[in-house]
Structure 1
Amino acid sequence: MRTSEPPPASSWATPPEFYLDENSVSRTIRRLLTGLGYRVHSPAELYGSRDQALGADDDDWLPKVGQRGWTVLATDFRIFERPHEYEAYLKAGVSVFLMPAESKIDERVELIAACLPSMCSAASQRGAGVWRLTTRGAEPYTAPAARKKRGRSRDT
């Protein structure tokens, strides 16, 4: 349970701009963040329309988001299991915050609100990183593709 309100964008010298991937886009999450003064972007904005954005490959949208310096809110843990998509993430240099895929919108709003201070702090570092949003806060997430990659490099 939250004891204080999430920080408004004006709390930060340079507040992050958030990109809601196609699996996490919702009016409720957008309203939460924009109501606090944050800029929020969607796949439709990135591609020109919702139809053009549907099904965009992660290795296509990640570099575009990275070039703009946006912070990603997502539910797709699978991107970090597939080595070619994990490589695209690393090249893009984005901060990604993952919400449980099976969570309901209200749960996602609560997670974002509770974790927003740590999300903004991490995103201000402007480097690649992945965190899971939990009721305990934003926790670093080690991608299976990264574990496999490290495992291979030790073996060779």
Structure 2
Amino acid sequence: MTEYQQQIVFFIDRCLGKHPILEMLRETGINVEIHDDHFPQNTPDQFWIPQIGEWGWIVLTKDARIARNTMERQAVARAGIRMFTLASKKLTGEETAIAFGDALIGMLKFIEKHPAPFISKVYKNGKVSEWKNATELLEKIQ
């Protein structure tokens, strides 16, 4: 892992739960923070997103509504968020952890090549693909 990658912090959205994704990511040496350690559980997305942007953390979620909801999408754009959302919704916690684990190298490479803000998809097989890039997100708020 590069020095840059060691400085990355992944923020696990509350919809992903805590375990086993937290354990899997920590085992890789990645820095991980979870939603409930920083915000009340019922905090609306448009309120925690700006703080995560300020901290420079990378969001992991399975809440695809963030990309579709105007207020939340604007919060992502304004905060310069880098977000990876799980494309497959009906996975167990273990399957979710495996998908993000399989996607980890792809996510790290994606982060290095793509400017914030962005929302990318992570698939069950570990594939990472662009969904909403900086241009698409920023043009919605201008």
TM-score, normalisation: structure 1: 0.76
1:13 maps to: 3
Q: Aligned match of 1:72 in 59, 69, 75?
A: 59
Give the aligned residue type for 1:46: H
In 2, the alpha carbon distance for the partners of 1:20 and 1:109 equals: 11
In the alignment, which residue of structure 1 is the partner of 2:29? 37
The alpha-carbon deviation at position 101 of structure 1 amounts to 2.6
Q: What is the root-mean-square deviation in Å for CA atoms of aligned residues? A: 2.2
2:29 & 2:105 partners in 1: Cα distance?
14
Range with greater deviation from structure 2 (122-131 or 33-42) = 122-131
Q: Deviations over 1:17-75 (max 9, x none)?
A: 1100010122211111111111111122223xxxxx11111111001101111111101
Does residue 130 (structure 1) correspond to residue 119 (structure 2)? The answer is: yes
Q: Kindly name which structure, 1 or 2, has the bigger radius of gyration based on alpha carbons.
A: 1
- Percent identity, please: 19
Counterpart residue identity of residue 17, structure 1? V
- 1:7 alignment partner in structure 2: none
> So what's the TM-score if we normalise by structure 2?
0.83
Give distance in 2, aligned partners of 1:130 and 1:81.
11
Counterparts of 1:52-63 in structure 2 under 5 Å? 53-63=40-50
After superposing the two structures, state which structure 1 stretch, 128-137 or 29-38, moved more.
Answer: 128-137
Q: Which consecutive segments of 4 or more residues in structure 1 shift more than 6 A?
A: none
CA distance in structure 1 between the partners assigned to 2:115 and 2:131 by the alignment? 17
Q: Give the match for residue 8 of structure 1.
A: none
What amino acid is the match of 1:127?
A
Cα distance, 1:109 vs structure 2: 1.7
Aligned partners of 2:36 and 2:107: how far apart in 1?
23
User: Gapped runs of 5+ residues in structure 1?
Assistant: 1-10, 48-52
Q: Secondary structure at the match of 2:83?
A: strand
SS of equivalent to 1:102: coil
Q: 1:102 — aligned with what?
A: 90
State the shift of 1:123 in Å. Answer: 2.6
Select the structure that is richer in strand.
2
In 2, Cα distance between equivalents of 1:44 and 1:109: 18
